[in-house]
Amino acid sequence: MPEKIIAGKTVNVDDEGYLVDYKEWTEEMALEIARAEGIEELTDRHLLVINFMRAEFEANGTGPSIRRLNKKSGVPTKELYQLFPGGPAKKAARIAGITKPQGCV
């Protein structure tokens, strides 16, 4: 299993770069991962989505699909794509420190 240093902490990641243990995640890691994903700043709206992703993961063992993210987080699909360009569910999951949501390719 590959290791990666994120925000000064060595963590295990899978082959796609998602944290293996979501409990190792910190907000400082989120900022660094976001920058690597091309998101320079995490706004309150970003954090709302990220916290929703983490809560869903804790409750269900997987992150929400884009459809569930849209319906339950209160953030419209168009805004999700503005916040997390190029694949909101996958990108938000990576920044949130959880595994890739089921159904994402």
Domain segments of the chain: what residues? 3-96
pLDDT exceeding 90 applies to what percent of the chain?
83
Length of the chain: 105
CATH fold group of domain 3-96 = Arc Repressor Mutant, subunit A (1.10.10)
Q: Phi-psi bin for 37: left (phi > 0), alpha (psi -120 to 50), beta?
A: alpha
What's residue 83's pLDDT?
Answer: 97
What's residue 100's pLDDT?
Answer: 87
Q: Is there a catalytic annotation at residue 104?
A: yes
Q: Which entry of 15, 31, 104, 105 is annotated as an active-site residue?
A: 104
What's residue 33's pLDDT?
Answer: 97
Q: pLDDT tens digit string along 31-70?
A: 999 999 999 999 999 999 999 999 999 999 999 988 888 8
Measured at the CA of 21, the angle between CA 69 and CA 70, to 5 degrees, comes to 0
| Alpha-carbon torsion, ordered 42, 74, 52, 30, to 10 deg | -10
CB atoms within 10 A of CB 80: 21
Number of H helices, E strands in the chain: 5, 2
